[in-house]
Amino acid sequence: MRALTWQGKRDVRVDEVPDPSIEKPTDAVVRITTTAICGSDLHLYEVMGPFIEQGDVLGHEPMGVVEEVGSEVTELSPGDRVVIPFQISCGHCFMCDQGLQTQCETTQVRDQGMGAALFGYTKLYGEVPGGQAEFLRVPQAQYTHVKVPEGPPDERFVYLSDVLPTAWQAVEYAAIPEGGSVVVLGLGPIGDMACRIALHRGHRVIGVDLVPERLARVRNRGAEVLDLSEHEADLAEAIREMTDGRGPDAVIDAVGMEAHGSPGAQAAQQLTGLLPDAVAGKLMEKAGIDRLHAFHLAIDIVRRGGTISLAGVYGGAADPLPMLTIFDKQIQLRMGQANVKRWVDEIMPLLMDGDPLGVESFATHRLPLDEAPRGYEIFQKKEDGAVKVLLQP
Ligand SMILES: NC(=O)c1ccc[n+]([C@@H]2O[C@H](COP(=O)([O-])OP(=O)(O)OC[C@H]3O[C@@H](n4cnc5c(N)ncnc54)[C@H](O)[C@@H]3O)[C@@H](O)[C@H]2O)c1
Ligand SMILES: [Zn+2]
Ligand SMILES: [Zn+2]
């Protein structure tokens, strides 16, 4: 089959790789019809090289049609239309029972000390071949799927794999009081969708980014926006002025480890890119490699006693944090990979009854799988208005 493979920093290619097959009775094989590129893939593209092997298949936002099932997957039949969550979870362990599917005890990557296995996401998360491919082997398929009805186009449902549950969890974790306010840092797909969900719930939303078309998309949905490039020195002050001098009830960080405005850490990330993988990997596991600009902004912006909800992914082990301020302001801090299956039942009605979140017009680009390398490039460089790129194998 054809699949998008990682070859090196900023080098991905579509190659012929072996077709996946049923390896365990709990597997299914899905023929992919639509699959997306995520901001999390950009971390692999740019900084996480030491944890990937050349030739690894990337991608974790797929949907398609069940081709084949293992003997224990009685919940699915060939021909079923399914979205595949980005994490692999069993549905019957202690963690899955609590809606903490990203901590699934059946698929936890214990030799790396990490949570549930993820599709297409480095050795840290199990090195499971990903979904930017014609076919995908789905482990724990009896639970690792979301069945969706025939009829509406793929774009109605594909974001259930990641964008929708991640943005939903970010808003849930933000714990915004009724009629309260939230600042969303970063207006990529995750921040954009988090704004839409918070607006849908009736909150006051202020979005921050530095890419004009991303600001415009969110403004058009009814959010107030601030351009970071016009507020490099006074963003928190400007937001306090807009919020009774106090700051918003909550801040969602939808930026993560590659934030603009962190020159020192950016140099450290580039340096690890020059070291041999074995050395860089060890260093990254022990050092502070995150560009923390957005997180530091969140700490400054949020009101005293408010909540910061981190959706952006961080990866350093020794990141210096202003504990004095976090403690003194009594900030509540919540974070993590999204527990996809936990939120699906709450999101589904918004996809079936009209399209209040605007998912059908959310993608800016639809490319054939063979053009995926260009998709990565325009998404990373924010060229050609790229916000969300869908691939069609
Ligand atoms: N928690 C989860 O389960 C989960 C799931 C998907 C994605 N993510 C993470 O969410 C983050 C966003 O993903 P995305 O797909 O929206 O990608 P993205 O890279 O397109 O979005 C990041 C946005 O942040 C903006 N930005 C950069 N620095 C900023 C700063 N200092 N202040 C404000 N904005 C800034 C960029 O211009 C960009 O628009 C990534 O870190 C990704 O890994 C987490
Ligand atoms: Zn994703
Ligand atoms: Zn489990």
* Alpha carbon distance 58, 354 (integer Å): 32
From CA 119, how far away is CA 91, in angstroms rounded? 17
Q: How far is the CA of 40 from the centre of ligand 2 (A)?
A: 5
Asked if residue 249 lies in contact with residue 182, where contact means CB atoms within 8 angstroms, the answer is yes
Residue 39 in this model has a pLDDT that exceeds 80? yes
First to last CA, the chain: 10
> What does the chain come to in residues?
393
Q: Whose CA is nearest to atom 1 of ligand 1?
A: 337
Q: In this structure, what DSSP letter does residue 57 have?
A: B
Biggest distance spanned by C-alpha atoms of the chain:
61
Over the stretch 210-266, which tens digit does the pLDDT of each residue have? Answer: 999 999 999 999 999 999 999 999 999 999 999 999 999 999 999 998 889 878 788
Quick one: pLDDT at residue 289? Answer: 73
> From CA 297, how far away is CA 283, in angstroms rounded?
26
Alpha carbons 176 and 102: distance in angstroms, whole number? 23
Residue 200: CB atoms within 10 Å: 15
What are the φ/ψ torsions at residue 58 (nearest 5 degrees)?
-95, 175
> Ligand 1 centre and the CA of 358: distance in Å?
19
| Residue 193 structure tokens | 């969708």
352-254-309-176 Cα dihedral, nearest 10 degrees:
-50
pLDDT of residue 285: 76
Owner of token pair 């084949």: 68
- Taking CA atoms only, the protein residue closest to ligand 1 atom 34 is 186
The per-residue DSSP string of 88-114 comes to: ---SSSHHHHTT-GGG-TTT--GGGT-
Query: Cβ(187) to ligand 1 under 6 A?
Result: yes
Q: What ligand is nearest to the CA atom of residue 298? A: 1
The pLDDT value recorded for residue 230 is 97
Alpha helices in 120-257 (DSSP H): 154-157, 163-174, 189-200, 212-220, 235-242
181 lines ligand 1 (CB under 6 A): no
Enter the tokens of residue 146. Answer: 């979301």
Is the distance from the beta carbon of residue 32 to the nearest atom of ligand 1 less than 6 Å?
no
The verdict on the CB of residue 225 being under 6 Å from ligand 1 is: no
Residues 6 or more apart in contact with residue 323 via CB below 8 angstroms: none
Please check the confidence at residue 291 and state whether its pLDDT lies above 90: no
Give me the mean pLDDT over the 178-207 stretch.
98
254 alpha carbon, closest ligand: 1
Could you tell me if the CB of 312 is within 6 A of ligand 1?
yes
Does ligand 1 come within 6 angstroms of the Cβ of 303?
no
Q: What per-residue confidence (pLDDT) applies to 281?
A: 81
What is residue 301's predicted lDDT score, i.e. its pLDDT? Answer: 98
Q: Could you identify the atom of ligand 1 that is nearest to the CA of residue 313? A: 41
Do the Cβ atoms of 308 and 302 come closer than 8 Å? Answer: yes
Q: What is the residue-averaged pLDDT of the chain?
A: 95
Task: Give yes or no for residue 287 having a pLDDT over 80.
Answer: no
Q: Which residues of 301-336 are buried (b: 16+ CB within 10 A; e: fewer)?
A: bbbeebbbbbbbbbbbeebeeeeeeeeebebbebbb
Instruction: Using the mean position of ligand 2's atoms as its centre, give its distance from the Cα of residue 131 in Å.
Output: 11
Among the atoms of ligand 1, which is closest to the Cα of residue 190? Answer: 16
With H, G, I as helix, E, B as strand and everything else as coil, classify residue 128. strand
**Per-residue pLDDT tens digits for 333-376:** 999 999 999 999 999 999 998 999 999 999 999 999 999 999 99
Q: What is the pTM of this model?
A: 0.97
